[in-house]
Amino acid sequence: MKSLWDPIKTGYLRLIEPVADYLVRRRVNPNVITTIGTACTVAAAVTYAFGHISIGGWILGLTALFDVLDGIVARRTGRETKFGAFYDSSLDRVSDGMVLAGLAVFYATDTPRHSVQMVIICQLAIIGTFLTSYTRARAEALGIDAKVGMIQRVERVVLLSAPQAFFGLAFNGLVLGIIVSLLAVTSWITAVQRIAFVHAATTPKAVRREPLADLSSQTTAAPDGAPAAVHAPSPRP
């Protein structure tokens, strides 16, 4: 069954195909693409921190291009390596943390929209985002593909970029607050779903207990090494 994101992904891949072809012809190192993408994400985070939410959303939206291109170029040029996968995953965590940290700084310092509650929500979102990534990585180390749950990284990037790019601080920042809160909640739900998935995959099925034998056929040892006595049922009166 196709998800709502499948047509969007297909269209996006067709859109960036010329860019991917150009990078493949130039034999650009995939790790360089990953690094540039992370630098753009950090720039978006700083932009968020200074309160330029709409501009930050557009900058962050561009980083999705690099997230896809590094993998495509690596596969087409035969440069898929274990270090490349490790490097990409590590910088993804930097990107996730920096964007939410930038929003936390915005809520902590922007006087008109200063909100301790939103700073806390941003921190919870950071922890939840890291936890969703860690649970999947740890599951893969156990040989389990735990790519399950309510929200994946693609959805997180979209939630942190598209609404901000189009709405900015519309409705006195209500849209931004809802998006950050939604991200925090769904990240924690996803983490719990992955924990439950791994628990189910690693816990053996309960062994059915054999029915107890009739007590009349059992014997018990007598004290002091005496011969075992057979417990027969008492006669009915």
Catalytic site positions: 92
d(CA 13, CA 101): 30
Say what the alpha-carbon torsion angle 141, 94, 61, 68 is, to the nearest 10 degrees: -40
Amino acid found at 162: A
The DSSP code sequence of 115-128 is -HHHHHHHHHHHHH
Which residue stretches of the chain are H helix?
5-25, 30-49, 53-76, 82-109, 116-141, 153-167, 170-202
CB atoms inside a 10 Å sphere around CB 156 = 24
Our measurement of the distance from residue 24's CA atom to the centroid of its chain's CA atoms, rounded to an integer in Å, reads: 29
